[in-house]
Structure formats: structure tokens, C-alpha cells
Amino acid sequence: MNKNLKRLVYAALCLALCMVLPLLVGQIPEIGKRLSPMHIPVFLCGFLCGWPWGLAVGAIAPILRSFLFSMPALYPDAVVMAFELAAYGAVAGLLYKLLPRKPWSVYVTLIAAMIAGRIVWGLAKWILLGLAGTPFTLEMFIAGAFTKAIPGIILHIVLVPVIVLALEKAGLVENGR
């Protein structure tokens, strides 16, 4: 199959997962939202398809989900998430392509993408809330990006590398190589 067509299909599958996974984990009381289910397919898209596809799926998913399901709320949540997820997909795809194909590089790539995305999230939230005249403090950033996100961070660090390494072993990961 043509590489671009394969990437398009993988990206479409990841985008579909971004729509469905929040519905599934939302059924888990009190922790479902904190698992950040839309992040997983965006990370996978970056790993599978490369940075342009990861960026595109990350930017589109929260906005599309907001229009389809009214969750997350379009402004500021979906807009801020669009920047955050675009950074996740782009950094994951770029670093994964640049680093050697070793199991450790999947973890390094994922953690770097998670940090970059959270920084972008904080900057986008700071700018958008600032335009609305609402303060966004360092404490709010730490709480939103790290403290409240601990269940999702753990899930991503455990699940995403396992999936990527299994797809590598199956020969399904190309990412520009």
C-alpha cells in the first residue's frame, strides 16, 4: 500500500479514537476525564504517521469533538487542547523519526512530547485567559498540567510505549523511514 495512503488511514483511525475513547473512559467515575483519553491516539499518530499527521490530528481532534459532542467546551478548553495535542503529535513524530530505533527512544520521545505539550498548553491557556482578563497563575498551571493529570501521565507512560513497540515488532510503524 502507498505510504501516504497508509498514513492517512492510520491518522483517520487515530482521529476516530479521539472521538470514541473519551466516551468510554468517561464512564469511570471521578477519574475518567483525568486519564486524558484523547492524548493517547494523538501520541500514537505522531509515532505511526510522523509529525505532520500527528500535528494535524492533534489540532483537529478537540475542535471536532467539541462540535460533535459539545465536550470539551469550545472556548477556551478545546482551543487550548488543540494547541496542546498538536504539540504532542508533532514532537512525538519528529523525535521518533530522529532518534534511533531503540525501546528507550520511545520513552524519551513520549516524555519529551508530554513536557512540550504541557508547556504549550500553559502558554495557550495563559494567552487566551489573559485576553479575557482572567489570570492564569503558575499554581494553576502546575495543578492543571501535572497534579490533576497524574493518572493520565501514568497511563500514557505505561500504555503508549507498549503499543508503539508492539506495532514496531509487527512492522506497522514507518514514520517517514
Q: What is the pLDDT of residues 92-109, one digit of tens each?
A: 999 999 999 899 999 999
- In order along its 177 residues, the chain shows pLDDT tens digits of 688 999 999 999 999 999 999 999 888 877 877 899 999 999 999 999 999 999 999 999 999 999 999 999 999 999 999 999 999 999 999 999 999 989 999 999 999 999 999 999 999 999 999 999 999 999 999 999 999 999 999 999 999 999 999 999 998 876 655
Q: Which pLDDT value is given to residue 28?
A: 84
Whole-model pTM over 0.85: yes
Q: What is the pLDDT of residues 55-79, one digit of tens each?
A: 999 999 999 999 999 999 999 999 9
157 contact partners, CB below 8 Å, separation of at least 6: 107, 110, 111
Q: Which pLDDT value is given to residue 34?
A: 87
Structural domains of the chain in order of their starting residue, each with its CATH number: 3-169 (1.10.1760.20)
Q: Which pLDDT value is given to residue 26?
A: 82
